[in-house]
Structure 1
Amino acid sequence: MKVPIFPLNSVVLPRGKVPLQLFEPRYIDMLTRCLKDDHGFVITLLREGAETGRVASFYETGTYVRIIDFQQLDNGLLGITVEGDAKVSITNSWQQDDGLNLGEIEFLPAEAPADIPTVFHELPSVLRALFRHPVIHELGMSVDYEDARDVGWRLTELLPLDRQEKQHLMEMQDPLARLSHLQALLEALEEGQ
């Protein structure tokens, strides 16, 4: 499957929502094609370069997203909201003349649902606290606080972690291993305060 690739300085995971502002012609054209053809695109983390630059390297694992809302913003830019659909592997990529990155992707196997073991009982509480922030609350995301996948995905997106750490957590396919890693990171953050 051939799709546009949108390198960002952040990660999005399945069921996560992200607001974006589009102003570059290559991304406005991408949006038009995606809406016309009723398909999404891939958001992947930048490895090097800038979001607005033409030269950028990015990670090969990203998330296929769908556009769920768009509107003209007060600042004159086009605002869209995307929702993560599934994790993907970018098997081949290239750049069009206008600077838009395209790639061939393969969908990764869906993570198996898992209940949250007692040892991780504090993680849903941390996530609930994050969801009380007005900006996050405004996104209108629904979270299953008993699903290890959902809790791990949202914490990965929302916690103030290093970009490479977020990518590592995103690439994990075992929801319980992700929770274990997140718990260790939170304990390290608490000790560092």
Structure 2
Amino acid sequence: MNNMIRDIPLFPLGSVILPGGRIPMQLFEPRYLDMLTRCMKQQSGFVVVLLSRGNETGGPAQFHDVGTCVDIVDFQQLDNGLLGITVEGDCKVRVLRNWQQADGLHVGDVERLPPEPGAPVPGHLRELPSVLKALSRHPVIKDLGMTLDFEDARAVGWRLTELLPLEVHQKQHLLELQDPLERLENLQALLETLDGS
């Protein structure tokens, strides 16, 4: 499998998504509407990267170099007249180089990161799937239609990283980890901090 993806659109956001996760997005800037058209024609995705400086709309933006390649799984016209899309995380990638097109769209060459090894959730971390089950009952989470796996350490860690009320820099750190058990240990420590605050 070729690990390189060249000339792929990059979408700097104020949040992170991991493989298997879903997030709804609203598109209104011409550069992103053009990007959507291109993705639909080519049946390809784009990369969501976390902003480190700047904002999601207009102006210069700096972003982290590890993000997630996403596929568009749904789109519709929203009541506010904007185009709404739902994207699903496919694989984690590292941005090797990037540039900004004349229309302001960020584009780059990325490499797929190695898949994380599968592992069951260890006994001493069994509280984490229970927390995920509780979060998954929320109507907003249900509406995303995600497939949830409460046994696999990768899946539990990925979903908790997205859904827990953590600082974005903490979420980025958890995204960048390649060991699912290390991610769960980190999440357990962060949960204990949240409980204590």
Q: TM-score, normalised by structure 1?
A: 0.98
Which residue does the alignment assign to 1:54? 59
Select 1:35's aligned residue among 27, 31, 40: 40
Percent identity, aligned pairs only, is 63
- Please say if 1:64 is aligned against 2:102: no
Which residue does the alignment assign to 2:139? 134
Deviating beyond 3 angstroms after TM superposition, the runs of 4 or more aligned structure 1 residues are none
Which residue does the alignment assign to 2:15? 10
Tell me the CA shift for residue 78 of structure 1. Answer: 0.3
- Please say if 1:169 is aligned against 2:174: yes
Cα deviation per residue 1:119-159 (whole Å; 9 max; x = unaligned)? 10000000011111111111011111000000000000010
- Please say if 1:147 is aligned against 2:152: yes
Aligned residue pairs: how many? 192
Select 2:25's aligned residue among 20, 24, 47: 20
Which residue does the alignment assign to 1:181? 186
Which residue does the alignment assign to 1:88? 93
Tell me the CA shift for residue 53 of structure 1. Answer: 2.2
Unaligned runs of 5+ in 1: none
SS at match of 1:84: strand
SS at match of 1:20: strand
Please report the RMSD computed on the Cα atoms of aligned residues, expressed in angstroms.
Answer: 0.5
Q: TM-score, normalised by structure 2?
A: 0.96
Select 1:102's aligned residue among 95, 100, 107: 107
Unaligned runs of 5+ in 2: 1-5
Question: What amino acid does structure 1 have at the position aligned with 2:165?
Answer: P
Tell me the CA shift for residue 2 of structure 1. Answer: 1.8
Question: What amino acid does structure 1 have at the position aligned with 2:123?
Answer: T
Which residue does the alignment assign to 2:3? none
Question: What amino acid does structure 1 have at the position aligned with 2:180?
Answer: P
Q: In 2, Cα distance between the equivalents of 1:142 and 1:39? A: 21
Q: In 2, Cα distance between the equivalents of 1:114 and 1:54? A: 42
Q: In 2, Cα distance between the equivalents of 1:10 and 1:57? A: 14
